[in-house]
Chain A
């Protein structure tokens, strides 16, 4: 570097020393993050990949196991496939409903109604309730005997048919525990971060586009389909990708509300990893399970990014 700078004309040489100084300072500012990235992220990822090929219980001797852990997951572990299936189902229901629910709520708030700020704050509240606390609140609300919702259902039956209707057992009924979990997730998501991001996206759509569409005689649906949707597609994409990654890892609410029960009805993938790793301390197999979810999510995210090319429209980008 030094010799090359010497033969360059003066301004360029000055630029070279500026570049060196910038590089030096950049790495000084980045030092904590680079250490963190290596010690707490990249190192651990590789380590857990390696660990997935060993039989290792915390504090015991590790023995090389080849592909045993991976085969065990796919062929022997009776809880593996059902927990994957449940988690996929949970994600497939919660993500579209919460993403489109959030979009609808954002569109409602984008109508320039009076008191929009008040509505936005109220809609946002559920998102602020800590998941642990919301698990308690919903356990109480959905309690089969004393819960407010079942009493409400009972009363409706009484008014309509003259005899009360017995509500479902919710978290204590294998058929209803998953829908209850999904309801909690939707409750906290439709007015939350995603909605706020959508709202900002909607507010960024130039009003002329709607006016032009109206002049062309486009109705409400047509304006949504041909103006709103394309203009909001980058935000839609961002929200969907992150929502999938988060939904697949769901843990707090099922762990507190059902502990995976009743009869394994809510035994989701996160709970399976948790019990394997931190109740049985089977770190080798736990790492395998974690890596399987990593691979699954990576493939799925990649597919989403590929398909995005055909439906995500970036205004200002030449096409």
Chain B
């Protein structure tokens, strides 16, 4: 081997070593949660550390599932995620289409305001929105957690607009000449061409909704109605007896994380592309 290729090899080797070390550091908490979730009660707090459970306790997952309301929480999370995500995607894509394709008076102002709302801290809206829901009698219902999402979100409007802008306008023009109406162009040209951005938006917002914590925390107060993110706290808040529950807690944490990871793997390409697009200047 020449010196040059030796240096090249050394450099590659070093970079791989760094990457692997980083991957291990970032994955360790993950591995530890997973492995703890499969331990027996007496192994959980054992010292020296148990790196592999003697007999993996899959039954822990059944025990978590049998905790009162746990199936409710999972069902509620799925329901809320589906309804809110659908709403966000539908309403935001309509607005994104308008910003990308039409010229109309007030467009620049409206678009600037839309972008500015991206910078708003959530707390400024949280209190007045809470009072609005209280006045409407919506507290302790799912309405505050679903209805507002059918009226668009600035981030996704921006995302859709960015994507729609990349579709050549010749397609619209040709359809116009053939006498197609705007809703028809949207439905039969834009929608099929823009499937990737719909997938990206649905995954990003789906994950957001699944993880959503503060909103359901302040809106709901009956345990059977909680989504998983809020309900899962009950493992800590209500320990019941003094036996270690860390293995069950970790099983619950894994169960909450799993759908997110599955969703990510199903739409990895679309998802990453969407994230990248959100970082492109308008």
CB distance from A80 to the nearest CB of B (A): 14
Q: Tell whether A39 pairs with B125 under 8 Å between CB atoms, given A108-B18, A129-B260, A130-B211.
A: no
- Are A125 and B30 in touch, CB under 8 angstroms? yes
Bound state CA distance, A35 and B218, in angstroms? Answer: 24
CB distance from B15 to the nearest CB of A (A): 5
Tally B residues with Cβ within 8 Å of A: 89
- Are B95 and A30 in touch, CB under 8 angstroms? yes
A100 beta carbon closer than 8 Å to chain B? no
- Are A36 and B152 in touch, CB under 8 angstroms? yes
CB distance from B259 to the nearest CB of A (A): 9
Nearest residue, chain B, Cβ from A19: B103
- Are A39 and B104 in touch, CB under 8 angstroms? no
CB distance from B33 to the nearest CB of A (A): 5
Per-residue interface assignment for chain B, residues 209 to 244, with 1 indicating a CB less than 8 Å from any chain A CB and 0 otherwise: 011011001100000000001001101100000001
Contacts of B235 in A (CB 8 A): 136
One of A34, A37, A234, A270 near B117 (C-beta < 8 A): A37
Q: Which of A127-141 contact B (CB under 8 A)?
A: 128-134, 136-141
Per-residue interface assignment for chain B, residues 237 to 273, with 1 indicating a CB less than 8 Å from any chain A CB and 0 otherwise: 0000000101001101110110011001000100010
CB distance from B122 to the nearest CB of A (A): 6
Contacts of A235 in B (CB 8 A): 279
Per-residue interface assignment for chain A, residues 279 to 293, with 1 indicating a CB less than 8 Å from any chain B CB and 0 otherwise: 000010011011101
> Which of A64-72, A172-180, A207-215, A244-252 lines the interface with chain B?
A244-252
Q: Tell whether A22 pairs with B102 under 8 Å between CB atoms, given A140-B36, A148-B32.
A: yes
- Are B23 and A48 in touch, CB under 8 angstroms? no
CB distance from B57 to the nearest CB of A (A): 16
Q: Which of B1-59 contact A (CB under 8 A)?
A: 12, 15-16, 18-19, 22-23, 26-27, 29-30, 32-33, 36, 44-45, 47-49
Contacts of A155 in B (CB 8 A): 48
Q: Which of A241-262 contact B (CB under 8 A)?
A: 241, 245, 248-249, 251-252, 255-256
A191 beta carbon closer than 8 Å to chain B? yes
CB distance from A137 to the nearest CB of B (A): 5
A294 beta carbon closer than 8 Å to chain B? yes
Q: Tell whether A136 pairs with B253 under 8 Å between CB atoms, given A36-B91, A151-B49, A238-B279.
A: yes
A85 beta carbon closer than 8 Å to chain B? no
- Are B23 and A33 in touch, CB under 8 angstroms? no
One of A190, A201, A294 near B124 (C-beta < 8 A): A294
CB distance from A234 to the nearest CB of B (A): 6
Nearest residue, chain A, Cβ from B232: A132
One of A111, A130, A245, A274 near B119 (C-beta < 8 A): A245
Per-residue interface assignment for chain A, residues 30 to 66, with 1 indicating a CB less than 8 Å from any chain B CB and 0 otherwise: 1011111101111111011001000000100000000
Contacts of B30 in A (CB 8 A): 125-126, 129, 137
Q: Tell whether A141 pairs with B275 under 8 Å between CB atoms, given A30-B110, A39-B151, A44-B125.
A: no
Summed over the interface, the residue pairs from A and B with CB atoms below 8 Å come to a total of 255
- Are A290 and B126 in touch, CB under 8 angstroms? yes
CB distance from A111 to the nearest CB of B (A): 5
- Are A126 and B26 in touch, CB under 8 angstroms? yes
CB distance from B24 to the nearest CB of A (A): 9
- Are B232 and A32 in touch, CB under 8 angstroms? no
> Which of A3-11, A91-99, A192-200, A223-231 lines the interface with chain B?
A192-200
Centre residue among B114, B213, B236 by max chain A CB count within 10 A: B213
Bound state CA distance, A314 and B49, in angstroms? Answer: 52
Centre residue among A42, A109, A140, A289 by max chain B CB count within 10 A: A140
B131 beta carbon closer than 8 Å to chain A? yes
Q: Tell whether A37 pairs with B122 under 8 Å between CB atoms, given A151-B49, A196-B276, A252-B214.
A: no
Contacts of B122 in A (CB 8 A): 249
Nearest residue, chain B, Cβ from A133: B253
Bound state CA distance, A241 and B16, in angstroms? Answer: 32
B150 beta carbon closer than 8 Å to chain A? yes
Contacts of B264 in A (CB 8 A): 124, 128
- Are B152 and A130 in touch, CB under 8 angstroms? no
Nearest residue, chain B, Cβ from A131: B211
- Are B12 and A29 in touch, CB under 8 angstroms? no
Nearest residue, chain B, Cβ from A47: B128
- Are A26 and B213 in touch, CB under 8 angstroms? no
Bound state CA distance, A235 and B211, in angstroms? Answer: 26
A310 beta carbon closer than 8 Å to chain B? no
Bound state CA distance, A305 and B152, in angstroms? Answer: 26
- Are B26 and A122 in touch, CB under 8 angstroms? yes
Contacts of A238 in B (CB 8 A): 279, 281
Q: Which of B99-151 contact A (CB under 8 A)?
A: 99, 102-105, 107, 110, 113-114, 117, 119-132, 134, 148, 150-151
Q: State the 9 A-B residue pairs at the shortest beta-carbon distance, nearest first.
A: A36-B151, A44-B128, A197-B279, A33-B152, A26-B102, A29-B98, A33-B95, A133-B253, A23-B104
A-B contact pairs, 24 of them (CB 8 A): A22-B102, A23-B102, A26-B107, A30-B110, A32-B94, A36-B148, A119-B19, A119-B23, A130-B257, A132-B211, A134-B253, A137-B32, A140-B36, A140-B250, A145-B45, A146-B44, A190-B26, A196-B275, A197-B275, A197-B278, A238-B281, A248-B121, A274-B214, A287-B128
